Amino acid sequence: MESISFKPEILERIIPDVSLERHLKIGIRSNQRLFDEFKNIQILSQKSSHLLTTSYIQNGNTLVICNISYGITELLGGETPEQYSSVYPTLSISRGRSGAPTDEEMNLSQKLYESTLHSRILPSNSLIFKPKVMIDDNLEDLDTNKQFKFNLFVNLKVFDRSGPLFDVCHFALVTSLKAVKLPVIYLNDSFVKLSIDNLLAYPDAELVPLRLNMEVPLVSSNFGLYNLDEKNLIICDLENESEESNIISKVNVVSDGKAFNEFTLINGSLLNITRDEIKSLLRTSKQRAKAINSV
């Protein structure tokens, strides 16, 4: 019988586990990156207006467009909000289908929601305000006990997915939050009833940057752990089908370069993970966070 040989990219599609192992054995990855090399991540452009903040983020080939808009709610009497708030993210990954959000889209949105809350970057009192009132073309303080709150709606659109998306979506979200500016909210007239239906965004005053409990943007990094010849290989920033579906021991770390805000480990292949390995992951994450924030 004749043996059949396949090109590497075809082998990767038909037997991804074998393709992955062969690559790693000779010390390379199918995406040509080094084991400890992350895809480049950068903000392409960012702008902010009275009703919307938009960022374009590129990570490798992946492009993420992040839009943050807001809605206003009235705080009910007696309602004391938690010290920190979150945002309300929705996410869609362009992959040529339409319909209800997929599990991946739902899980990413929920992760971003939980992450923002637990990282304590968004203090509730940055979002709470008292509206002003327009009297004779001048904005004046309104005498009221009513309080209102901005609710941030985040929409992420992802083009050209090639690997796990949490890192880039997280980056898009936090860097966009840094750019959010909120307008002064006012009533047009002192005779109008004070309710959310009558509030307007004031177009002439300068926008106020959103106050965050975050000096530098948090950075999320992901790693895969793969057992090769009884040793654990650490592979940074998984990409491509073969790595994503066959490296099932994964770690995700969120750091600001000093401390950590998130550490998630899923040991899918029940590896013996040593303390030194975890230390090295934490160190790399810190360094990456510092490097990205120093650009």
Partner 1 sequence: MLLRTSVLENVDGSAELTNGRTKVLVSVSGPIEPKIKQELPNLASLEIILRPSIGTANTRENLLTDKLRSILSSLIIRHKYPRQLIQVVVQVLSLETDAVVINNFENTVDDLKVFNIEFTDIINCCYFALLDSNIFLYESFIGVSQSVSEDKSIINTPELSDLIHSKSHHLLVFSIVDSKPSKIVYADSKGEFSKQELFEVMDNGFKIAGANFTEFRQLVEKKIEDDFVWKQEA
Partner 2 sequence: MNTDRRRILGPQDARIPDLGISTNANNSMDIDPAGFAAEKRSSDIQKMFMKTNFISNANGSSYIEHGDTIVQVSVFGPRPIKSSFIEQASFSVECRFLPHLKQDDALDIDGDHHSNPNGRTGLSYTEHKISSFVESCLVPSILLDKYPKSTIDLHITVIEHNSESTSLTNLVNWITVASSLALVDSGVEVRDIVTAGHIISDGQHVILDPIEPVSKRTDCLVCFMNLKNEIVGIWVDGDLDNLDTAIEECNKMSRTIRGNINSYLLST
Cβ 58 to partner 1 shortest distance, Å: 27
Which does residue 119 bind out of partner 2, partner 1, none, counting CB within 5 to 8 angstroms by kind? partner 1
147 vs 117: CA distance, rounded Å: 21
In this structure, what token pair is assigned to residue 79? 């309602």
Contact between 122 and partner 2 by CB under 8 A: the answer reads: no
Classify 22 as helix, strand or coil: helix
CB 68 within 8 A of CB 182: no
96 vs 114: CA distance, rounded Å: 28
Contact residues for 51 (Cβ-Cβ < 8 A; gap 6+)? 69, 70, 183, 201
Return the range that interacts with partner 2 (CB under 8 A); candidates 3-11, 35-43, 97-105, 208-216.
Answer: 97-105
The neighbouring-strand residues paired with 123 are 84
List the one residue from 13, 25, 27, 73 that touches partner 2 (CB under 8 A).
73
List the one residue from 117, 142, 200, 212 that touches partner 1 (CB under 8 A).
117
CA distances from 283 to 35, 217, 250, 254, 286 (A): 15, 17, 16, 11, 5
Number of residues that bind partner 2 (CB under 8 A): 47
List the one residue from 42, 83, 144, 188 that touches partner 2 (CB under 8 A).
188
Number of residues that bind partner 1 (CB under 8 A): 38
Is 95 or 283 the residue whose CB approaches partner 2 more closely? 95
- The site for partner 2 (CB under 8 A) is made up of 49-52, 61, 65, 67, 69-73, 88-90, 94-96, 98, 100-101, 106, 109-110, 113, 134, 137, 151, 153-155, 157, 159-162, 185-186, 188, 196-197, 199-204
